[in-house]
Structure formats: structure tokens, C-alpha cells
Amino acid sequence: MLRSRSLAPLRHRPFARLWVGAFGSNIGTWMETVAVGILLQSTTHRATWSGLALAAGFAPNGVLGPVGGALADRISRRVLLLTTTSIQTVLAGVLAALAAWGRPGPVAVILILFASGAANAIGFPSYQAILPDLVPTEDVAGAVALSSAQWNLGRVIGPALAGLVIEFGGYASAFLVNTISFFGVIAVIATLPLPPPLHDEQTQLLRSIRGGVRFASRDPGLRIVLTVIAFASLLAAPFIALVPAVADKVFHEPTVGTWLLVTAQGTGAVAMALVLGPMHARFGSRRTLLTVVGALPLALLGYAAAPALWAAVLAILVVGFLYLGMLSSCTTIAQLRSPAHLRGRVLSLLMALLGLVYPIGAVAQGALGDGIGLRVTIAGAALCLAAALVAIRLLARASLQGLETDAVRHPTRAARSSITV
């Protein structure tokens, strides 16, 4: 029964096709991510560069995410996704070419990652916004979780393939595989059955963005979700950026350690994806989110204190399990509490927070890790996250009920003007 409910969204052919196409692309993306991390760590031996690499990919979300969200609600989401994915394909090819000519410097790598991140920032709100159009409402949580699962399955498979490809073909080969992997998802997006835009294209872009911000600020559940995302992005998410540095500086296994830690985190995330849909159905979105986010600081403390690589692998597996639960729960709540014509803009606010806050946390924790040690840095961030969550529970208790999605009713088309302008 658990397996049947977890995999229910895959019974819907459009979602299943998108899932498979995105899965292939994400394997390539994770090959590139790991290859970049190992390349930068091996050439600079500084955790700061690892933080900068992750920050470069996410920073554009802070500015361009809301723009992408507004565009997703006013023009064809298909066209937007095809355009931005094609740009990412070209940039991946440029990185492969540079690596083929010789090891690219860290600055060149960062600039390419930044440009690719900008394209992703504009396109990703459309990807998130189309998921509820591909499955029934009762399967949305499962679809979000399965989308995260294929991302994290890529995290499991991609690093393993990256290690093999780098060993026998070098960094250029890993980057080339990523370039090729984009073509599958492009073919799927081009043929998906998607509804036309719901928003008036004549509305000014900034006015459209403000409409999304206004709606999110008035909804108690969305306010909690955005607050949780902000603190988690600053204090929890940087553990992802620091994996190559932890493998190198703490456990002295830069290549094997990075692969093991990244794979373990992805495995934990996949495990959560298989149970998250049933958890939401049985316990509700509020209880599920509060449980997983409340346990996250404890898991991070265990990761920081791990005495050996094998213990860190087990700890980061749990961290990946809980982090995916937090992020997917927040995304599901945002999707179900947002009307279709505002969905892209509301979801882009989550991306904007990740884009603004996560790079700050990644760079800051990377610099602190170089100065006071990675164990102390990760443990300190976990304690700060625990304190922030306690404060949210105490100061916003009345808003927590807004995390439920069962009774959400969206305004009719005739009433939308009051919240879109």
C-alpha cells in the first residue's frame, strides 16, 4: 500500500515522461556538480571555493527567480522551459570544451555556473508550476516527492558515474555527458500536454511579481513556509556545499569521500521521497513538516561529530532524508495553497530565498570552516537552526495551522484581480 501510494503519480503518462527525462538530465547535472567540486578542491584546497561554486549556481535565484515566476504565469511555460534548458545545454558544452583544452581556472568555472544558474532561475518556477497540471490534486505531494527523488537518484548515480568517467576520460568527459543529458528532457518538454497561461499578459512584470508577494504575505501557511526555508537555507543547506571540503580536510579522502557522502545524502533523500506522500496523507502537511524540520538539527549535529568517514556517511544519510522532507513539504504546501494563476510566482519566492540566503550561508560556512574548522562550523549552524525553530514555534503558533492544505479553497477567476494587482 505504501509503495502503491508513493508511486501513484507515475501512473499518469505525462508526469512519468517528464520524470524519466528529468532523471536523465539530473544524472548529468550531478556528474558535473561532483566533477566541479573535485576539480576546485584539488586545485585550490580551499573550502571557500566549494562554497563559491554552489553559491554561483544558486545566487541568480535571488533576483531572477521572481522574474521567472512572473513569466511562468504570463507566457507559455513550455516555451520558457525549452529556452532556458537550451541555454543550460550550451553552457555545459562550453565548460566541456574548456576542460578539453586544459583545466579551467576557478574564476571561469564560477562564471559558467553563474550563467547556468541564471537560466535555471528563470525556468525552474515553470517546472514546479506544471507539476499540479500533470497529476490529480491528491497526487501532488507524491509528484513533488518523486521529482525530488529523481533529483536525488541522480545524486546517487551521477557521482558514481562521475568518478568512473573522470578516472578514464577526465573532467571534459564528465562535462560532455552532462551536455548530452539535456536533450532528453528537452524532447519531453516539447511534447507535454500543458494548459495555456492563466495570467493577463498585459499586466506589468513588476506589478505581477508584487501580486505574488502580496498573496504569500497574506497567507499564514506560506509565511511559515518562507520563514522555514530562509533559516534552513542559511543554516542547514550549506552542508551540501561543504561535502568536498569535509571529505578532504576532515577525513582526508577527497575523491572517494566526496562520492560516499554525496551518494549517502542522495540515498537518504530517495528514501524520504518514497514515504513523504503517504506521510502527508496520513499525518497532514503541518505535522509532517514540523517533524522533519525539528529533527534536522539533531542529524546535523551527528554529522558534525562523526568520528570516522563511515559514521559521517550514516549521519549524512539521515540528514539527506530529513532535508528532502523539509524542502519537499514546503514546496507541496506552497503549491497547494496557491491558485494556479499565482503558482509560478509563489514558488519563485521559495527559489528567491534559496538564491539569496543559501549562497550567503555556503560562503560564510566555507570561510568559517577554513578558519575555525568544519566540525565546529556545522555544529554551530545546527544549534542556531534549532534555536530559530523554537522561536518560530513560540512566536508564530497561531500561524502554524496555516500549514494544512486539506481545506484550502482558491478564489474563482472573477475574484482574482484583488490578489494579482
pLDDT digits 0-9 by tens, 45-86: 776 777 688 778 877 887 888 888 888 888 888 999 999 999
Who has greater pLDDT, 37 or 327?
327
DSSP state of 226: H
Torsion angle in degrees (nearest 10) through CA of 406, 408, 409, 415: -170
Residue 412 clears pLDDT 80, i.e. is over it: no
Which grid cell is 217? Answer: 504575505
> Which cell is 383 given?
544549534
Distance of CA 247 to the CA centre of its chain: 22
For the chain, give the mean pLDDT: 85
Give the whole-angstrom CA distance, residue 176 versus residue 325: 32
Whose cell is 486539506? That residue is 406
Q: How many CA atoms lie within 13 A of 131 on its CB side?
A: 29
Residue 161: C-alpha distances to residues 31, 116, 225 (Å) = 7, 22, 35
Say yes or no to pLDDT of 418 above 80. Answer: no
Indicate whether 414 pLDDT > 60. no
The per-residue pLDDT for range 168-180, each reduced to its tens digit, is: 888 899 999 999 9
Q: What is the pLDDT of residue 24?
A: 93
Instruction: Tell me what pLDDT residue 3 has.
Output: 52
pLDDT score of 399: 65
Instruction: Report the C-alpha gap between 372 and 245 in whole angstroms.
Output: 13
Phi, psi angles (nearest 5°) of residue 339 = -65, 155
- Of the candidates 154, 152, 210, the residue with the CA atom closest to the CA atom of residue 327: 152
**CA 283/CA 291 separation, integer angstroms:** 10
pLDDT on residue 404: 67
Q: Is 5:278 a contact under the CB 8 Å cutoff?
A: yes
The one-letter amino acid code at 20 reads V
Cβ atoms of 201 and 74 within 8 Å: the answer is yes
Pick the closest to residue 49 from 36, 58, 61, 60 (CA basis).
36
Confidence tier at 41 by pLDDT (50, 70, 90): confident
Q: CB–CB of 235/353 below 8 Å?
A: no
Task: State the first-to-last Cα distance of the chain, in angstroms, to the nearest integer.
Answer: 44
Q: Which three cell numbers stand for residue 251?
A: 577525513
Q: 348-407, pLDDT tens digit by residue?
A: 888 888 778 888 898 899 899 989 999 999 999 999 999 999 998 887 776 666 666 654
Q: How far is CA 416 from CA 76, 81, 198, 212, 354, in A?
A: 20, 26, 11, 12, 28
Which of 164, 26, 36, 162 minimizes the C-alpha distance to 95? 36
Q: Residue 413 pLDDT more than 50?
A: no
Does residue 150 register a pLDDT over 60?
yes
How many angstroms separate the CA atoms of 270 and 256, rounded? 21
What Cα–Cα distance (Å) separates residue 88 from each residue in 58, 84, 174, 177, 247? 14, 6, 15, 13, 29
Model confidence band, residue 133 (pLDDT cutoffs 50, 70, 90): confident
Domains of the chain: 2-190+203-406 (1.20.1250.20)
Picking from 270, 223, 227, 248, the residue whose alpha carbon sits closest to that of residue 401 is 223
Return the sign of the alpha-carbon dihedral for residues 389, 394, 395, 399: positive
Torsion sign over Cα 30, 36, 42, 46: negative
Q: Which residue, among 286, 277, 33, has the nearest Cα to 147 in the 3D structure?
A: 277
Tell me how far apart the alpha carbons of residues 384 and 317 are, in angstroms, rounded to a whole number.
Answer: 21
Do the Cβ atoms of 60 and 84 come closer than 8 Å?
no
The residue among 72 and 233 whose pLDDT is bigger is 233
Q: How confident is the model at residue 321 (pLDDT cuts 50, 70, 90)?
A: very high
pLDDT more than 70, % of the chain: 90
Q: Are the beta carbons of 9 and 278 closer than 8 angstroms? A: no
Closest by CA to 285, choosing from 409, 142, 136, is 142
Query: Does position 419 have pLDDT exceeding 80, yes or no?
Result: no
CA pair distance 337, 189, nearest whole angstrom:
25
